Amino acid sequence: MPFRCAVLDDFQNVATTLADWSAPGHRVEVVPFTEHFGTEDELVAALADFDCVVTLRERVAFPASLLNRLPRLRLLVASGMRNSVIDHAAARANGVTVCGTESSSTPPAELTWALLLGLARGLVQENGALRAGGPWQSTVGADLHGRRLGLLGLGKVGALVARVGLAFGMDVSAWSQNLTEERTHEVGVRLAPSKEELLADSDYVSVHLALSDRTRGLLGATELALLKPTAYLVNTSRAAIIDQAALLDVLHEGRIAGAGLDVYDVEPLPGDHPLRTAPRLLATPHLGYVSRANYQRYYGQAVEDIRAYLEGAPVRVLG
């Protein structure tokens, strides 16, 4: 029998073209799924006859309840080297090896700036008006040079975003629970005295933190109230870091100039979700990691993971 591999959430239908799936040297049958499975029952029905599943990021959870219902599954490959929605203990109990891949910090940093610049210069509104024969110039763009960019988190992605801000001539500061002056000096930015001061003083705030018990709900109604009415907030990290109901409130009430989002509590975002119609919002469908080079890395290393597993020497094992 062939070693059957399912690729989840291949929305663009490119997984089989961006890697050489014949490389394992075994008979591997690859089946991409271009539609998202929203329930555990749907996943079980779709994946019951597969030995391997390749899953993108943390969109699809693999709890014990699902893993227990997939007796044929032997290998689970996740893009990235950290995945909080896979029950690793349950995977081991079910004889499932979990492997990861490398992931570049560049694509999400680039998308952060696409959102920030799109908000600052009203690109969606102006483009829509131009194409529809609307008014010639209807917005006055917000400046970057000389303005303050506040970063929540200064890891790999945050540091890349910081350096672009510095190139624009912005005053860049950063804060996180464990951030040190040594790290901020290394990147060339200031260490904000507190989260509250960063929020109150910044013209642009961008979130670059990993989701954890400490960061979940880090920005709630109290924190969002500290933002200037002229400030912009961007989140390409994890949705749960910002209280979504509180964010909707400040957008509808016009208490900030706008927000740019690429991540959501539920993905894909339901058609009737209130964020789809929220004012002052520039939103993209979790494109932060979606670039050709990153996909080539993901799928190419997924093939490497499969080959190594079939050879009895798994690589990049997680959990």
C-alpha 143/C-alpha 149 separation (Å) is 11
Question: CA angle 26-29-30, nearest 5°?
Answer: 125
**Catalytic-role residue among 57, 148, 286, 297:** 286
- 261: nearest Cα among 280, 272, 270: 280
Neighbours of 179 (CB within 10 A): 18
Strands (DSSP E) found in 72-113 = 75-78, 97-99
| Residue type at position 13 | N
- 235: nearest Cα among 213, 218, 253, 254: 218
140 token code pair: 């006055």
C-alpha 117/C-alpha 144 separation (Å) is 9
State the number of CA atoms in the 13 A half-sphere of 296 facing the CB: 4
3-state SS class at 306: helix
286 included as an active-site residue: yes
**Catalytic-role residue among 267, 273, 307, 316:** 267
Asked whether 122 and 141 are in contact (CB, 8 A), the reply is yes
The DSSP secondary-structure symbol of 232 reads E
Residue 174 CB partners (closer than 8 Å, separation 6+): 150, 151, 152, 153, 154, 158, 162, 184, 187, 189, 190, 191, 192, 198
Residue 274 CB partners (closer than 8 Å, separation 6+): 248
**Catalytic-role residue among 57, 238, 297, 304:** 238
C-alpha 115/C-alpha 259 separation (Å) is 9
Active site residues: 238, 267, 286
